Structure 1
Amino acid sequence: SKTGDARIGLVGFPSVGKSTLLNKLTGTFSEVASYEFTTLTCVPGIFKYKGAKMQLLDLPGIIEGAKDGKGRGKQVIAVAKSCSLILIVLDVLKPLTYKKIIEKELEGFGIRLNKKPPNIIFQKKDKGGINITHTVPLNNLDEDMIKSICHEYRIINANISIRCEATVDD
């Protein structure tokens, strides 16, 4: 369960040091071994930083194709998506292309890396339909597209305020 002021997910390939980092920073025990996929479930730990309680999650290693479900990838990335911060842990002896693979897997699951969340305010309401306001031109969207997206998620009453250049993914 989510605890602390922020949630940080340790994401990386198997056997890159995620469990060791969790153990050192939090004093929590996450098994460390010389074989891949030692960590099979999410292991949480807590540490304090400037008075704030941070929950650190040691996630099972992901592999190429994780976004398509390989190696429990969808479950791991779903937990990562709930984090305030994702920390990609890499093996310094491996090429930097490994970082690109991890980024591609996360982005393929809709995680925005190194980007601020869009300035869109969404409030469900009991009645009145969908009301859309915007302070910038909607170049990549129109109101019918927004309403269609809402209906896909069975949202029929909401106030939506768009204050930035937005896309369908936002």
Structure 2
Amino acid sequence: MSSTLAKIVEIKAKMTWTQKNKATAHHLGLLKAHLAKLHRELITLKGGGGGGPGEGFDVAKTGDARTGFAGFPSVGKLTLLSNLAGVYSEVAACEFTTLTTVPGVIRHKDAKIQLLDLPGIIKGAKDGKGRGQVIAVALTCNLILIVLDVLKPLGRKKINENELEGFGVRLNSKPSNIGFKKKDKGGINLTAICLQNELDAETVKSILAEYKIHNANVTLRNDATADDLIDVVEGNSLYPLYLCVK
């Protein structure tokens, strides 16, 4: 884990130092792809027992939809869950009271909706601080509800959004219209249906090379970014609805 964190810090430093222009686009794309792979490592438990994303924090998925309550520690997520679903768990006047995901269920118009109180997010969770793995559980949700403390700075809302984005949770967004299909030979064939401001053949090849993909057909049907292509290749990003309560 420590080596992964060190690599993340190193790559982020390189991205900060690198000027953003057409000449460096392929280099930045490569760094973003490498960073995405490292973030994936953070949410995948290692060891002889195997494991998967968010193991130890996730609960069995039930019902017709799943809503995750995300936010900093001690902002009232568990209180909200208790009021909505009648769930009881220890609530104390200290941070990090909830150390595991607490589930609840409500019914609305014959639909069974599972509610999850996720352990508190802290700044830097996406880079391994605190319990960054719990954000992986958000990848299983259809709706993300960010809960804020009205007595704390509003800037915390942006921090929560950034931490979730770091794990591929694309709030209130739609997937980019990118066609991607691996093949056995023939190299990388890129087709752009419209003008591209960021992605070109060299950038696309650099990103795919990071995933050891050297033969594929890629079709860009809208003005896409390196992050958009990485999401398609990774295949585990989520585009949930997003609400915010205070």
TM over 0.5: yes
Hey, which of these two has a bigger chunk of strand by percent? 1
Q: 1:71 deviation in Å?
A: 1.6
One of 86, 100, 108 as aligned partner of 1:27? 86
The equivalent residue for 1:7 is 66
Q: 1:142 deviation in Å?
A: 1.5
TM-score normalized by structure 2?
A: 0.57
The equivalent residue for 2:101 is 42
Q: Is 2:111 the partner of 1:52?
A: yes
Kept in 2, the 8 Å contact 1:26–1:47? The answer is yes
Alignment of 1:104-115 (within 5 A): 104-115=162-173
Distance 2:88 2:209 in 1: 45
Distance 1:159 1:24 in 2: 51
Q: Give structure 2 stretches of 5+ with no counterpart.
A: 1-59, 229-246
Alignment of 1:9-158 (within 5 A): 9-72=68-131, 74-123=132-181, 127-128=184-185, 130-155=188-213, 158=216
Alignment root-mean-square deviation, CA? 2.7
Quick one: percent identity of the two aligned structures? 67
Q: How many residues align?
A: 168
Give the SS at the match of 1:44.
Answer: strand
Distance 1:86 1:92 in 2: 19
Structure-2 change in CA distance of 1:13 and 1:5 (3 Å):
same
TM-score normalized by structure 1?
A: 0.78
Structure-2 change in CA distance of 1:167 and 1:58 (3 Å):
same
Kept in 2, the 8 Å contact 1:15–1:35? The answer is yes
Q: 1:88 deviation in Å?
A: 0.7
Distance 1:113 1:121 in 2: 22
Distance 1:160 1:3 in 2: 36
Distance 2:181 2:86 in 1: 40
Q: 1:40 deviation in Å?
A: 0.8
Q: Give structure 1 stretches of 5+ with no counterpart.
A: none
Hey, which of these two has a bigger chunk of helix by percent? 2
Give the SS at the match of 1:164.
Answer: coil
Distance 2:181 2:110 in 1: 32
Q: 1:165 deviation in Å?
A: 1.1
What is the identity, as a one-letter code, of the residue corresponding to 1:104?
A: N
Distance 1:163 1:47 in 2: 40
Distance 2:213 2:64 in 1: 30
Give the SS at the match of 1:86.
Answer: strand
What is the identity, as a one-letter code, of the residue corresponding to 2:191?
A: T
What is the identity, as a one-letter code, of the residue corresponding to 2:97?
A: T
Q: 1:158 deviation in Å?
A: 4.7
What is the identity, as a one-letter code, of the residue corresponding to 2:173?
A: K
Greater mean deviation of Cα atoms: 141-150 or 155-164: 155-164
